[in-house]
């Protein structure tokens, strides 16, 4: 909810600048996507007879468990009591954005500690246990029992890693316009299938080839979609600034026709589709909804949610204000991604380090003269591959929880698993 508030307040300020009354503006905000809007909607729907806007906002602030939400709504109440205009509301939103930037930078220092602890538990400890077991068995003819080792590596260590990642996720800076969170069923099924193949001794380097090919197809499709969305989002602020110069009273058809002339082919194609819908007398609300579904992402949500109000009120300055909001959104996204990418790529690097250390250790010990141990064969054929699959699942789960798109978790699960197993079987 906290991530949404700055942009919702800026949107509220824009609506007030359109000469929309405070209560109607709140209803428009409550009709949008997001936790804050849904929460606000519940209070507006439960409005008591004769209850004022002030009373609704006061109940909202009192019932909220977040101090930042309480502070933001309290400032909103003060602005309402003093009859402040839209610019004052937008200033409150800007202050909230500054607080979020500070928290994001603060998280960077905390996450480095969590990351080191996670790598210690998931990379160093299991590698150390396997080496100690193998060397102890070879040198002293006694070592950790294989069943106990499997229990520690395949259950205790992953559970500890999951707890650390859970703590990291709770501390992670919030993000606006995320996909709806769902349990990662596909990631779990993929991991269980691979574990089953390993258990049946079917998993090998050759079997990874078709799996890897399928992963490339999946990756390429997601990559193409991401590139298209990125190109459209990149030109959207400039396109909005351009149409803000159109004469007041310009129709939706004229606006979309101007946007369809943009030199960016991807953006132009989407705007042309919307222009044709407008020409076919499709309702503006339906056109904007279809556009949001086709493009996806935060800026598309912001555009479709504001465009209708701009057209209804002839407030063409709203296009430039919307462009400013989108640019601020990009700034927050870059800030957050810069912090999160450090942890993400460190964990992905762990998927390369683990099979290298474990694979080399097992191979060297297995080649020692006079070494014979069924336990080491079990470790090499079952324990390590299964652990690599579990590690990939944990990392992909964390990424899906902290990334803008939850669906990216499956892609990372695919890639990290294939990377780990390929390196292990090649070493």
Range of weakest confidence among 14-23, 153-162, 198-207, 250-259: 198-207
Exposure class string for 300-310: b at 16+ Cβ within 10 A, else e: bbbbbbbbbbb
- The CA-based diameter of the chain, rounded to the nearest angstrom, is 89
Q: Report the alpha-carbon distance of residue 366 to residue 274 in Å, rounded.
A: 65
Range of weakest confidence among 186-195, 257-266, 352-361, 409-418: 186-195
Q: How many CB atoms sit inside 10 A of residue 185's CB?
A: 9
pLDDT at 267 over 80: yes
Q: Which helix (H) or strand (E) holds 412?
A: helix 408-426
Q: What is the pLDDT of residue 183?
A: 60
Tell me the whole-structure pTM to 2 decimals: 0.74
Instruction: Tell me how many degrees the CA angle 326-330-336 measures, rounded to the nearest 5.
Output: 140
Q: Which helix (H) or strand (E) holds 109?
A: helix 86-119
Q: How confident is the model at residue 211 (pLDDT cuts 50, 70, 90)?
A: low
Q: How confident is the model at residue 351 (pLDDT cuts 50, 70, 90)?
A: confident
pLDDT at 223 over 50: yes
The mean of the pLDDT values for the chain is 79
CA 399 to chain centre: 7
Share above pLDDT 70 across residues of the chain, in percent, rounded to a whole number:
82
The residue that leads in pLDDT, 243 or 71, is: 243
pLDDT at 265 over 80: yes
Q: How many CB atoms sit inside 10 A of residue 426's CB?
A: 10
pLDDT at 369 over 50: no
Share above pLDDT 90 across residues of the chain, in percent, rounded to a whole number:
1
The residue that leads in pLDDT, 417 or 402, is: 417
Which two tokens mark 83? 């009859």
Q: What is the pLDDT of residue 104?
A: 79
pLDDT average, residue stretch 161-166 = 85
Which two tokens mark 146? 């294989």
The residue that leads in pLDDT, 340 or 154, is: 154
The residue that leads in pLDDT, 200 or 332, is: 332
Which two tokens mark 318? 């709203």
158 in helix, strand or coil? helix
Written as one string, the DSSP assignment of 54-95 is HHHHHHHHHH---HHHHHHHHHHHHHHHTT--HHHHHHHHHH
pLDDT at 347 over 60: yes
Beta-carbon contacts of residue 137 (< 8 Å; ≥ 6 apart):
143, 373, 375, 376
pLDDT at 72 over 60: yes
Q: What is the pLDDT of residue 184?
A: 62
Q: Are 80 and 12 in contact (CB under 8 A)?
A: no
Q: What crossing angle do the helices spanning 86-119 and 67-81 adopt, rounded to 10°? A: 170
């Amino acid at each position: 909810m906290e991530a949404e508030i700055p942009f919702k307040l800026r949107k509220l300020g824009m609506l007030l600048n359109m000469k929309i009354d405070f209560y109607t503006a709140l209803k428009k905000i409550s009709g949008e996507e997001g936790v804050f809007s849904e929460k606000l909607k519940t209070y507006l729907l439960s409005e008591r007879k004769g209850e004022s806007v002030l009373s609704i906002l006061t109940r909202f602030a009192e019932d909220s468990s977040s101090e930042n939400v309480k502070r933001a709504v309290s400032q909103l109440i003060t602005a309402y009591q003093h009859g402040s205009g839209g610019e004052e509301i937008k200033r409150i939103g800007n202050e909230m954005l500054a607080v979020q930037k500070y928290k994001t930078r603060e998280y960077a220092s905390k996450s480095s500690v969590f990351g080191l602890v996670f790598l210690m538990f998931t990379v160093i400890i299991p590698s150390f246990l396997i080496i100690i077991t193998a060397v102890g068995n070879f040198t002293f003819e006694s070592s950790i029992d294989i069943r106990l080792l499997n229990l520690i590596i395949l259950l205790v260590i992953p559970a500890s890693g999951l707890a650390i990642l859970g703590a990291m996720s709770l501390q992670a800076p919030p993000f606006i316009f995320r996909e709806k969170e769902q349990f990662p069923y596909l990631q779990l099924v993929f991991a269980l299938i691979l574990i089953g193949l390993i258990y049946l001794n079917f998993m090998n380097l050759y079997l990874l080839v078709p799996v890897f090919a399928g992963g490339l197809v999946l990756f390429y499709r997601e990559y193409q979609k991401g590139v298209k969305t990125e190109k459209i989002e990149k030109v959207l602020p400039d396109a909005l600034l351009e149409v803000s110069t159109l004469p007041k009273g310009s129709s939706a058809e004229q606006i979309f026709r101007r946007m369809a002339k943009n030199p960016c082919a991807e953006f132009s194609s989407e705007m042309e589709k919307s222009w044709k819908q407008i020409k076919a007398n499709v309702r503006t609300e339906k056109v904007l909804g279809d556009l949001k579904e086709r493009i996806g992402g935060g800026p598309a949500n912001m555009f479709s949610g504001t465009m209708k109000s701009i057209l209804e009120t002839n407030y063409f300055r709203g296009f430039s204000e919307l462009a400013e909001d989108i640019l601020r959104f990009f700034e927050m996204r870059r800030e957050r991604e810069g912090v999160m990418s450090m942890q993400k790529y460190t964990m992905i690097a762990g998927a390369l380090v683990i099979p290298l250390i474990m694979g080399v250790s097992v191979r060297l010990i297995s080649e020692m003269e006079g070494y014979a141990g069924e336990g080491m064969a079990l470790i090499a054929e079952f324990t390590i591959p299964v652990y690599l699959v579990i590690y990939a699942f944990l990392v992909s789960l964390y990424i899906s929880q902290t990334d803008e798109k939850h669906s990216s978790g499956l892609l990372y699960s695919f890639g990290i698993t294939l990377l780990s197993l390929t390196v292990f079987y090649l070493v």
